[in-house]
């Protein structure tokens, strides 16, 4: 696939103001352009009881099992869905009858700051999208990643993009961000330069299309967790 032409088209669109003007919500300040957004960073009691067992072990901090919940129209099925998120137990989407539409595994515990920091649901240029801010590590050194998901065919949770957006070491904090544009996104590494990512409808994910600055190197994007599908 030749990415040069679409990269130039998308970059031109973004520079010309063709991207969304929706500002990042304060609970998820790294994500710009998610329209009709609902977002929460407030843990709810007993959310984890509605989710399958995950990576909980003696090494998991209390925040790893804290659950976030939102209601939104995110799937093709009738009615509003309920989205549940937890660091250790992953992501679960329930239909209006509280039946599991789809689920995804959680994350292995790494440190005392492990948690899903915030959960957002909205539309990336009309496409229903789930966003998670996931923090790994300890209170002295930790990394926050932004992960984007879509509900695909057969109720699958499709991880379409995951990348670091904040690096914290003591009082030193480096931040980046994601700006949604038509059929793509711009990703700035924490404290670094910006690259263009193009959505591939065949692969169902955003692919790196090149730096906006020719001297830049490809940004690091962490691999998403493997999805596990509910019925």
pLDDT at 88 over 90: no
Distances (CA, A) of 103 to 66, 130, 176, 231: 17, 13, 28, 9
pLDDT of residue 53: 59
DSSP three-state, residue 125: coil
Range in 64-73, 186-195, 218-227 with the lowest mean pLDDT: 218-227
Each residue of 5-34: pLDDT tens digit?
A: 344 444 444 444 455 567 889 999 999 999
- Percent of the chain having pLDDT more than 70? 79
> How is the chain split into domains, by residue range?
31-179+219-228
85 compared with 222, residue with greater pLDDT: 85
pLDDT at position 52: 66
Torsion sign, CA atoms 32, 38, 42, 48: negative
Q: 163 or 66: which carries more pLDDT confidence?
A: 163
In terms of pLDDT, which residue wins out, 61 or 113?
Answer: 113
Total Cβ atoms within 10 A of residue 156: 18
Q: What is the DSSP string of 3-48?
A: -HHHHHHHHHHHHTT-S--PPPPTTSTTEE--EEEEEE---BTTSG
Q: Answer whether 59's CB lies under 8 Å from 220's CB.
A: no
Q: Which pair of tokens denotes residue 167?
A: 């690096």
Is the confidence at residue 168, as pLDDT, over 90?
Answer: yes
pLDDT at 57 over 80: no
Residue 133 CB neighbours (<10 A)? 25
Per DSSP, 162 falls in state E
User: At 145, is the secondary structure helix, strand, or coil?
Assistant: strand
Measured distance CA(105)–CA(91) in Å, rounded:
7
Select the highest-mean-pLDDT range: 33-42, 98-107, 153-162. Answer: 33-42
Look up residue 130 and give its two tokens.
Answer: 């789930």
Residue with the bigger pLDDT between 100 and 21: it is 100
- Residue 58, both tokens: 């003696």
Which two tokens mark 4?
């040069």
Say yes or no to pLDDT of 133 above 90: yes
């Amino acid at each position: 696939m030749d990415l040069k032409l679409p990269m130039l088209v998308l970059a031109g669109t973004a520079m010309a103001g063709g991207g969304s003007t929706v500002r990042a919500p304060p609970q998820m300040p790294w994500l710009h352009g998610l329209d009709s957004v609902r977002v929460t960073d407030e843990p709810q009691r007993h959310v984890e009881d509605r989710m399958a067992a995950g990576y909980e072990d003696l090494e998991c901090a209390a925040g790893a099992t804290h659950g976030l919940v939102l209601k939104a129209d995110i799937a093709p099925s009738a009615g509003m869905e309920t989205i549940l998120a937890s660091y250790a137990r992953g992501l679960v989407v329930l239909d209006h009858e509280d039946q599991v539409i789809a689920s995804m595994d959680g994350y292995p515990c790494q440190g005392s700051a492990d948690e899903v920091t915030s959960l957002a649901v909205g539309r990336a240029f009309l496409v229903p999208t789930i966003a998670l801010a996931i923090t790994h590590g300890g209170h002295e050194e930790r990394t926050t990643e932004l992960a984007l998901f879509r509900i695909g065919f057969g109720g699958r949770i499709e991880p379409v993009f995951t990348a670091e957006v904040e690096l914290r070491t003591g009082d030193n904090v480096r931040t980046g961000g994601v700006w949604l544009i038509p059929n793509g996104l711009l990703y700035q590494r924490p404290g670094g330069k910006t690259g263009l990512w193009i959505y591939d409808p065949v692969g169902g994910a955003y692919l790196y299309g090149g730096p906006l600055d020719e001297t830049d190197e490809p940004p690091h994007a962490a691999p998403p967790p493997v999805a596990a599908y509910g019925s």
